[in-house]
Amino acid sequence: MDVRMMVTRIVELSHHAGNADVDLQSKALGWVNAAYQELMDELVPYLPQALQVQEEGVCSGAGKLVLSKPVYRLIRVVDREAGRSLRLSNRDDVLVVDPEGTATGEPVRVFIDAGRVQVHPAMARKLAVLYVPMAADLLMDDAEAAVLLPRVYHHALIWGGLVWSAVFERGFLSQGEQLLYQRQWAAAKEQVKLGLLGNVGESMRVRPYRYV
């Protein structure tokens, strides 16, 4: 099921005939993406290895490395020049040990800053990064292959899109209808998780990875 088909189905189910809103298609695309990001966010703890990719690059002098995709979660970061793994951290922990941001010396820790890799102390460094990228928002003309989920689970995004349409638009005819879609969305997410856990390597539309 391509993205436009999902959007069309959501509009059909969430709004009665004769609705005057001419922008429903673009709104429904936003609902699909809200559901997609919600589902992918929930899948990461279940299937981290199925989503991992590896890249190498050189940090700027400010210690920042921009990868081909925004980073959702770091799995492992190796300082190629020092031949050691950096400690995975977060911005708050770094502020505790270096509130002024003036620390110098060899990098010992790494964290995510606005989707980019940041080493601390900051220094230009060659890194090998194993990470989980953020799932990119879907576009209206995206083909079925753009969705990281296999086709059999695309219906889940329709249920999720319907729930998100209620959040943004109150598009259902009754509260009972809204509760029905919420139950279907919760059940669909569980079905996706259980289904993918049984066949991780073939289920996700990503290339194999190797550890750094």
- The pLDDT of residue 170: 61
Domain boundary among 133, 161, 179: 133
Question: Quick one: 199 and 103 in the same domain?
Answer: no
- The pLDDT of residue 52: 82
Higher-scoring residue by pLDDT: 195, 156: 156
Question: Quick one: 96 and 74 in the same domain?
Answer: yes
Judged against a pLDDT cut of 50, whether residue 210 lies above it is answered with no
Q: Assess if residue 211 is contained within a domain.
A: no
* Cα–Cα dist 124/159, whole Å: 46
Mean pLDDT of 80-109: 94
Mean pLDDT of 190-210: 62
Q: Assess if residue 94 is contained within a domain.
A: yes
Q: Assess if residue 188 is contained within a domain.
A: yes
Question: Quick one: 122 and 62 in the same domain?
Answer: yes
SS3 content of the chain, % helix, strand, coil (to 5): 45, 20, 40
Q: What is the pLDDT of residues 124-178, one digit of tens each?
A: 999 999 998 888 899 999 999 889 888 889 999 999 999 998 878 765 556 777 7
- The pLDDT of residue 137: 93
Judged against a pLDDT cut of 70, whether residue 193 lies above it is answered with yes
Q: Which domain holds residue 56?
A: 51-133
Q: What are the tokens at 132?
A: 């989980």
Q: Assess if residue 209 is contained within a domain.
A: no
Question: Quick one: 85 and 120 in the same domain?
Answer: yes
User: Structurally, how many domains does the chain consist of?
Assistant: 2
Higher-scoring residue by pLDDT: 149, 184: 184
Q: Assess if residue 60 is contained within a domain.
A: yes
Q: Which residues make beta-bridge pairs with 127?
A: 57, 79
- The pLDDT of residue 207: 41
The structure's pTM equals 0.68
Q: Assess if residue 187 is contained within a domain.
A: yes
